[in-house]
Every structure is written in structure tokens, then in C-alpha cells.
Chain A
Amino acid sequence: MKNEVKIQEVNPSLDSRRSFLKLSGLTLVSAGLVLAGCSDNDNEDNMQDNSLPGIKNGVFDLGSGDFGVLTYAYALEQLEADFYTKVVNSSSFNSVFNDTEKQVLTDLYHHEVVHRDFFKAALTGALPDPSSQLLPSLAFNYGSLNFNSRNEVLATAKALEDTGVAAYNGAGRLIKSADYLLLAGKIVSVEARHASAIRSLINPNSKDFAGDDIVNTSTGLDVAKDPSKILPIAGGFITTKFTANYLP
């Protein structure tokens, strides 16, 4: 772990990203072990509080507790905001999408940028030392994703929105503050509205807006996933290294 790259570094190469994903996957799977194993390091770090986000062993860790969950949400919102910013600024945006699709994607761009900037402001205001504890602006790489392809953009949007819903649904139980829980609730239903809209654009005359692939056919429940299941998915687009060693 001594030679971890600093968080601000952007490495867009696919190979590097893959190797990081493997690394982060391992880290996440063994989070419990890491937690136990990190106690020695924490002593070296002047008894650094694991609940706070910040650099640990040279890599930014999201932390745990409410700040950890909010920072996790901030990372996901950064991804969504960046994706839709690229979508609406693509040179072929006006020719590839019809008016309805353009309206939906432009609205999603607005909403996700607002979500991202909200989390940045909220965390900056709430963290004891935001200069070291605020997650930096992440860098992204979409690999071979063709932003001029309607189908690829909508399929990616669907994956991001469904992932966002599952992430917030899974993270709610990790939040201690009723105020933060309500804020997450205010956002997750908008993500679900988005997911429904994107799914309808892809397959309009169908039940896909709340399809059987996503809503359990016996309980009627949507998906809920822990951060350790979400980050390997979202991490496919995120090139900035960070860890989530203290989230389940």
C-alpha cells in the first residue's frame, strides 16, 4: 500500500482502470478484515477517526457513518452529473435524440448537477475539516461508450439511475440522522422517477418503467444494495482512486 497513487491523479487508461477495479473489489470484499487490520495504521495516523472521510494510507476513504454515506452519495452524484453533462454537450445531441428524449436528458442533467453541488455544499458545511475530508472532484472515463449512440447513452443512463436507486435504498439504514435520511429520501424518489423515464424511452409500450427485472414479482420491492455491491459497478467509470473500507 506504500505506493498508492495520490487521489487527484487521473489515469484514463483502460488497463489501469481494470487493475484498480480488481484492487478495489478485493478491498471491498475484505472490508471487515481491512477494518481489523487498519487499527495499527490508525495509531500511526494520530488516532485518526475512521468515521470521517479523508486520506488513509495515501488513498481517500469515504469513511463511515453519516459522513461516509453522504460522501458515498456525493461520489455517485458526481458520476451521474458528469455523465449527463457529457451527454447534453455531445456534438450530436440534437441530432441523435428526439424532442422528448432531449427534454428528459436535459432535465436529468440539471437534476444530477444540482444533487452533486448540493452534496458538495452540504459536506463542506458539515465536515469538521472539509479541506482534508471533502471528497475531491472525481475523474471519469467511459471507455468505449459512444456518446453519439442513442442506444448506448440510454442504456448507460438506465444502469446509472437503477444503480442510484439501489444505492440510496441500501444506504438509508446506514444513516443515523433523521434530517440526512429525509434528504436522501427526497433524492432517491427523483432517481426512481428518472429510472422509470429512461426505461420508458427505451421500451415505451411496456411494463419496463418498473419492470420485473428490478421490482420483485412477489414482494413488489425495488432493489437495495450495500455500498460494497454498488461501488464495483459505478467504479467502472471512475478513474480516481478511493476506498470504502468502512462502509458495508
Chain B
Amino acid sequence: MNILKFIETFTDDNLMNSTGSRRDSFNQFGNIGKNLAYAAIPFGLSTFANKVMAKDITATPATPIGALQFALTLEYLENEFYAMALDSGVIPASENGGRDLKVFQQIAAHESNHVKFLIAGLGGTMSANFVAKPTFDFTVGGAFDPFHDYPTFLALAQAFEDTGVRAYKGQAANLITTPDLLTAALQIHSVEARHASEVRRLRGLKGWISNSERGAGMPAATQAVYDGEGVTMQAGFNTAMAFGAAAGSEAYDEPLTTQQVVDIANLFIV
């Protein structure tokens, strides 16, 4: 069980101990079983995080405004993540012909614009629909070191972008009654997909997701981002028939529910 090994690497006992002993927490794992643990614990930790962190976000309502609020919170997360990375100097400026820095400067600019666009769409910062930026901890209590360790930064960037693609897709039905908002969300959604594809290639992967594989070098704790991506039946059509399951699943990106995304995001919200 890689997920338990991952959790064992966490040394912050406060994170573990706030509502019970560490031993109790592990006992809970034993009770609910391996598969359920995987399904319920994106990034390996959010069950603990939910208990200790008072400012968790909760699922937004299944309405157009709720979808925009949800999107804004995700964009806050991405925007701050890339801004902090650019400030930290963790992104190599000269390797690969300067490719990495150019890529993340462009992605950062887009995420910043998405934040501004969505705030405006919600009626501005004084609007009753406005939601404030949460406080993020991208180290997850010291478990990750994305602003000093470039591979960790890249892995989280891939997880965030692939999550973003699935998250926007999951909101489509909530926007079907508001065509202008739906179109705007689709226009952000495809930009997130362009980002995801490029970040995956920077990590040596294909730009698309094969089966439900998180890809080489991705921490096991990020598997929640990829669970459910391996679908090969689309509206009754077997997409694996022509070229196999990997190609068939690559051809379709799958949605995540609001709650699934909230569980992932809350790991990084303190």
C-alpha cells in the first residue's frame, strides 16, 4: 500500500494528532480498507486535513454562480502556486533552451487572468457572490517542497492542471442554463488542457492520460487525480475496440465531481 508509505513519510505529528492519536488514524485505515482509502483520500491526506484545518472550502452549490465560485477558488490555487514558484527561482531559467521558464511564465499569466476574469464575472470583489482567496500551503505541512525541489514542483503542476481540466468538465452541467458563462468556462477549460499537455511533456509523458495512470514519477498520493480516467465506454460505444484501452481512454478526459475536487484542493488549504 503505497499510500500508507506516503503517509508514514509525514513527520508533522500535529497534523495527525489533532483529533486522535496517530495510531487511531491508522486503525481507521485498517477498517475502511484499501480501495475505499484510495477513493476517499485524494493526495493521501485530506481525511486528516479535513479534521485539523478549520478553513477548508466546501462544495459549491450546483448553480451557475456556484460553478464560478468553485472555478475561482481553483484558479486562486493555481495562480498562487505559479506566482510563488516564479518568485522562488525553482524553475530553471536556462535549461532546455529556457523552455521551462517560458512555459510557466505563460501558464502563470493565464491563471492570473483567469482569476481576474472570474472575479469580474462574479460581479467584482464587493459582490455578494465574491469568494475570497483561501490561505494555501503547497508544502502540505512540510510534506512537499515544490519551491525548492523542481521535480516536486513539476509533479504538483501536472496534478493541478489535470485536476483543473477534470474540474471544469464536472461543472458543465451546472452552467448549461447560462450559455455565456458556459462558453467562458469552456474557453478556460481548453486552456487548462493545453497547459496540462505541456506540463506532462516537460515531465517526459504524453500530453494525454492513458487509462487511469498518473504517469512515471508522480507520487502515489496524486492517484486521486487520475482515478476514473480509464473509462472506455462512452454512451455505449467501446472506445477500446479499434486501438486498445490506452488509446481509447486517452481520447476522452473524464470529469471530477465538485466534492472530489474540493477534497483534493483542501489538502492545500489551511
Contact = CB atoms under 8 A, between A and B. Distances in A.
> Which applies to chain B's interface (DSSP): helix, strand, loop or mixed?
helix
A114 B239 contact: yes
Contacts of B196: 193
Contact of A215 (B102, B191, B243): B191
B243 A113 contact: yes
A185 B251 contact: no
Contact of B106 (A103, A179, A193, A210): A210
A192 interface: yes
A210 B113 CA distance: 14
The 10 nearest A-B residue pairs measured at CB: A220-B113, A205-B97, A192-B193, A207-B106, A173-B179, A196-B197, A221-B187, A193-B197, A189-B193, A192-B190
Interface stretch (B15-23, B34-42, B229-237): B229-237
Contacts of A113: 242-243
Given A196-B194, A219-B117, A107 B183 contact: no
Given A192-B190, A222-B191, A206 B99 contact: yes
Contacts of A204: 97, 99
A114 B248 contact: yes
Given A110-B242, A205-B98, A122 B198 contact: no
Contacts of B184: 221
Contacts of A223: 187
Contact residues on A (Cβ < 8 Å of other chain), bracket: 35 or more
Interface residues of B, number: 60
Interface in A147-201: 165, 168-170, 172-173, 175-176, 178-179, 181-183, 185-197, 200
B99 A219 contact: no
A103 B206 CA distance: 9
B165 interface: yes
A170 B87 CA distance: 36
Query: Interface majority SS on A: helix, strand, loop or mixed?
Result: helix
Contacts of A178: 172-173, 176
12 contacts: A114-B251, A122-B236, A125-B236, A173-B183, A182-B172, A182-B255, A196-B195, A204-B99, A206-B102, A209-B106, A219-B117, A224-B186
Identify which of B105, B196, B197 gathers the most chain A CB atoms within 10 Å of its CB. B197
Nearest to A109: B243
Contacts of B109: 217, 220
A142 interface: no
Interface in A74-123: 103-104, 107, 110-111, 113-115, 117-118, 121-122
Contact of B169 (A110, A186, A219): A186
A218 B112 CA distance: 9
A186 B234 contact: yes
